[in-house]
Amino acid sequence: MPLDRGPSPLRPSIRGTTPSYRRFEAMSPVDNDVHPVIHAGRVAVITGAASGIGRAAAIELAKAGLKIALADVLEDVLTATGKEVAVIAGDANVLVIPTDVSKIEDVQRLRDKVYEAWGEVAVLLNNAAVGPDSKAWEQLDNWRSTFEVNLFGVVNVQHTFVPSMLHQENQAMVINTGSKQGITNPPGNPAYNATKAAVKSLTEGLAHELRERPSCNVTAHLFIPGWTFTGLTARSGGVKPAGAWSAEETVLYMLDHVRLGEFYILCPDNEARRELDQLRIMWAAGDVAEGRPALSRWHKDWKSLFDEYIRDGLAEMQ
């Protein structure tokens, strides 16, 4: 997107300048031919692996020759997915480990089984999530269950696996699955949004701590899917909407960009291309920077300005 565009129509653009703080480079550049982490013989651990993005990631990483440990609380579905992945990777290269990430003892058991079998973890995909309904001052039980899985599940996995990964000789990566809802915060499910905002924050903190650690071989990445047709987003089932990407498309995009060493892996879909996502994110940040009402994008007095901002911004990018 143009570098001289301000975060909202209230901020004038600065023509003909390129800010010195804008740097376009991979955070952890790697060899284009043989990636040090995503290649045959290495090990991937995937939570939320029974279906959706987790299942798609297991299949794609198995195709790349990795050994796959699948973890999920849905045992029957997880077993079926494990058999699917074993057809690609071979039975000896697949572990199916029922795991409730909200329980630290389950996560520790997952770690122990993986290290006992294979001695390392190259790719840790922290993907398990739930999305029950929530309201700002109602459904407290749903708030607690959402935080236990979406936030403390990520914390449990991170705290359990990262110390072991730090002592490995070879490079490794942690990929935490966030959401655009944790950045632009659309109305509708505040509990889910809050957990994904927290995942963004904790992953940024993890990336910084790893980066500052001398001779650290572990990197962190925030995976931000677009509109993806999965069991979580399509509760009523049915056919994939034209605007959504499949889980496979989303995972392939993520793997392409994580190979480049990118931290923020912001996935488009068939309705929202990257430029539109960028403008929406800039507007959301402008609410804070410019003192607009909370979630002004959906505010009756600001919606027309938001629409104008998006229209003008997309026109500039043509």
Known catalytic residue: 264?
A: no
CA 159 vs. chain centroid, Å, equals 18
Contacts of 67 (CB under 8 A, 6+ apart): 41, 42, 43, 44, 89, 93, 94, 95, 118
How far is residue 218's CA from residue 164's CA, in Å, rounded to a whole number?
11
Among residues 21, 115, 192, 264, which one is catalytic? 192
Which sequence positions are flagged as catalytic? 192
